[in-house]
Amino acid sequence: MTVPDNCPPRYPSTGISVLIVGAGVAGLMAALEGWRNGHDVRIIERAPEQVTTGDSFTIGPTALRALCHWPQMAEENDRISHSPAISFHTMTGAPITAPTLVKYTQGSDPKGMSNHIIRHWRPRFHDMLRKQLLAIGIPVEYGHRAVEYFEDGPAGRAGVVLEDGARLEADVVVAADGIGSHSTAVTLGRELRARPAGESMYRTSFPVELAMADPMVRKRFPPVEGDGNIELWAGPTIRFFIERTADTMCWIMSHKNDDSAVESWSNKTDPEEVLKLTATIPDWPEVADRLIRLTPKDRLLHFRLMWRDPQPSWVSPAGRIVQIGDAAHTYVPASGNGATQGLEDAISLATCLRIAGQTDQAPWALRIHNKLRFVRVSCLQKLGLINQHNHSRVVKQEQGQPTTLKYLTAEWVWKHNPEPYAEENYNKVLDHLQRGTPFQDTNTPRGHVYRDWTIDEIMAVQERGEEVELDGEWE
C-alpha cells in the first residue's frame, strides 16, 4: 500500500510484531505510534463495530504533542478540540465562580501549544485516530474478543485465545482492553477483579438543537459561539456536569453506586431513572429536569466506575505482554487524566520498542517502559481521588481558579513529553534493572518519594476528615 504524503516518515523496521488488543484511544494510538516507530502492527477489538457513544474528556498537552508527527491529525485536532470556560455552582445551579479559562501553570508551552485545558468529544477523537490508521493501511479488526492471554518465553512469543477458539500470536502483545482485561492472569499470575470505586455516572451528549427546543432550557443554557462553557454543580454526594458548545450538549451526573450501572459504553438507560434521583435533591431546579427529559434514550448511559489499586507490574514474566491504559491503571473521571495517560503509555511503549531495535530485546523494552511510567501514573491516580472527594464537599466561595484544579495544571503534569523522556532514560533504566544502579523519576512531583497505597487507605483518610498527605512539590 502507498502511504499518503501527509503521513509521517517511519523509523527503520525493527522486525518486532505487535498485537494490540483493544481499540480505545490508548490502543489506537499504540497502533499509530507503533507503525511510526517501525514495528509491524495488528489491532483487534471485541466490539462488533466502531463504538460511537460517549461524551467528552480532557486530553493534555503531554499527549497532544505527539500529533506534531501526524500533520493530518494535527489539523483535524484543531478543528474538533475546544477550550471551554469553566464555572463552579451549587447544587441549585447558583453560580459561585465566574466562567474562567483554566490554564496550565508556569506559562505557555515552548512549542506554541495552547496553555488552556483542551476538551474533546470522545467519538470524534476516537474517529480521528481510526481514520489515520486506515490511511496507513492498518484496519481495526472488530468482533475479536480475547478471553485468554499466553506467552512462550523460550520461543519469544505471546498471544491471545479468542472467544471462538482461534489463537493469535506476535512478538509482543499489548493489552489495551480496559479494566476487565484477562491479561492480569499472566502479568500478575491471577485474575484481578476490579471493584466498584463508590460512584456511578449518568452520562450523555447529543445535538444541542434538541436541548434548545425547550424555551426554559434555551434561556438557562443558551446557544454559544466558539468553545462553549462547562458548569460544575457540586454537592456532598452528587455532582452535575453540563458542557455545551455550538453544536453539542453534554451532561454527566455522578452519584453513589447503583446496581443498575455497569462499566460499559452500551449500558443505556431511560431519563426517567435519572429523574427519580433528582427528586431526592433539595431545591433541585426544574430547568435541570427539563434538560434531562430532552435526552434521547439511546444516548444516555449509566456507567459504573470501577477501580483496581495501583499495580507496579504491567509486564508478564517473560516480558512479552504489556498492559497500557485502563488495563494497567484505573482513573476516576475527576482525575482529568485517564485518556491522556493511556496516550502517554502508547507513545512511551512504541519508543522503547524502537530503541530496543529487535525482538530479542523487546522484553527489556517493556520492563523499561513500565519503570518509566508507573510512579507518574500512580501520582495522578491519587490526585483524581483527592479531586473527587473535594468536588463532593459543599462548595465554598473562592476567588479565581478553584484549588481542586491547581494540582492537575502543575508543570510536572503538563510539561512532560513521553517520547524524548524514554529516549533520554532508556539506558539509565536498563542499567538500573540489570545492574542495580540508581534511577530517579523526573516526570513526577519534585521531591516525591513513592510508597504503595490503596484506594481504601485514601478513602479512610478522607472519611476521617483529614487531608491526604502529598510529599514533594505537587503544585
Tell me the β-bridge partners of 365. Answer: none
Cα–Cα nearest to 319, from 354, 369, 357: 369
For 250-288, letters b (16+ CB in 10 Å) and e give: bbbbbbeebeebebeeebebebeebeebbeebeebbebb
Q: Which residues contact 276 (CB under 8 A, 6 or more apart)?
A: none
Residue 398's contacts (CB-CB under 8 Å, 6 or more residues apart) are: 88, 96, 97
List, in order, residues 6 or more apart from 440 with CB less than 8 Å away: none
Give the cell for residue 193. 477483579
DSSP 181: -
| Residue 53, helix vs strand vs coil | coil
Rounded to whole angstroms, how far apart are CA atoms 161 and 146? 6
Pairing of strands 301-307, 321-323: unpaired
C-alpha cell read off for 164 = 471462538
Burial of 193 (0-12, 13-18, 19+ CB in 10 A): exposed
Q: Taking a C-beta distance cutoff of 8 angstroms, is the pair 335, 406 a contact?
A: no
Cβ-based neighbour number of residue 106 at 10 Å? 13
Give me the residue label for grid cell 462553549: 228
Q: Cβ distance 182 to 176 under 8 Å?
A: no
- Of 46, 65, 130, 203, the active-site residue reads 203
Q: Cell 532514560 identifies what position? A: 425
Q: Is 354 annotated in the active site?
A: no
d(CA 241, CA 292): 12
Angstrom CA distances, 173 to 17, 318, 413, 470, stand at 9, 12, 28, 35
- Tell which residue, 155, 179, 465, has the closest CA to residue 327: 179
The set of catalytic residues is: 203
